[in-house]
Amino acid sequence: MKAGIFLADGFEIAEALCPLDVLRRAGIETELIGVGGMVIKSSCGAAVSADIPIEEASGSYDLLFCPGGMPGAVNLSQSWDVNRMLCETAQHGIISAICASPAVVLFPLGLLEGHEATCFPGSASYAPSFSFSSEGVVESGNIITGKSAGWAFDLGLRLVARLKGEEAAAKVRSAIFYKL
């Protein structure tokens, strides 16, 4: 099982690193994929080192995840490699995004068509023809979306449950004493 989390300058740090932590705790091989370099600056200015540059990301991913943040989501949407990998993975795996990315990255690719999704309320204007849910985490087929940084752990646990089962997610939840 293999997951990839895209990082582009301006990403929201909690939205990327909370799911990373939960996925790795569950024993899921998870790569931070650098878009535009190997050291990526978050929206709060913290620098995070990617595990692999997008140019070297290869093989099949069971899950690809797009954190939000601005201009991080816009930077992801402008990457041909990100768009290609998302569309390819959507054919056989899980696509996930949080905050601005469901509207800014997934919607223009047509990946939300026929699905329900949530996003940061202020980002819905990037996809005016789509009706976003107000829920914190929405799972619809192979698309799993989160509303905001406040939902990053819940989204990460939902991804673990989808990839490894509810028992694995409960084990991680217990190990970090999350909402017990």
- Confirm whether pTM is higher than 0.95: yes
**Residue whose structure tokens are 């993975």:** 89
Q: Does some domain include residue 66?
A: yes
pLDDT tens readout for residues 11-69: 999 999 999 999 999 999 999 999 999 999 999 999 999 999 999 998 799 999 999 99
Contact between 43 and 74 (Cβ < 8 Å):
no
For residue 79, what are the domain limits? 2-175
- Per DSSP, 5 falls in state E
CATH number of the CATH domain containing 34: 3.40.50.880
- Quote the number of domains for the chain: 1
In a domain, 148, yes or no: yes
Report the distance separating Cα 139 and Cα 145, nearest Å.
7
* pLDDT tens-place string over residues 95-144: 999 999 999 999 999 999 999 999 999 999 999 999 999 999 999 999 99
Residues contacting residue 169 through CB under 8 Å, at least 6 positions apart? 26, 157, 158, 160, 161
Question: What is the rounded distance in angstroms from the CA atom of residue 116 to the CA atom of residue 133?
Answer: 7
Which tens digit of pLDDT belongs to each residue from 142-174? 999 999 999 999 999 999 999 999 999 999 999
- Whether the CB-CB separation of 52 and 108 falls below 8 Å is answered with no
pLDDT in tens, 54-85: 999 987 999 999 999 999 999 999 999 999 99
> Within a domain: residue 180?
no
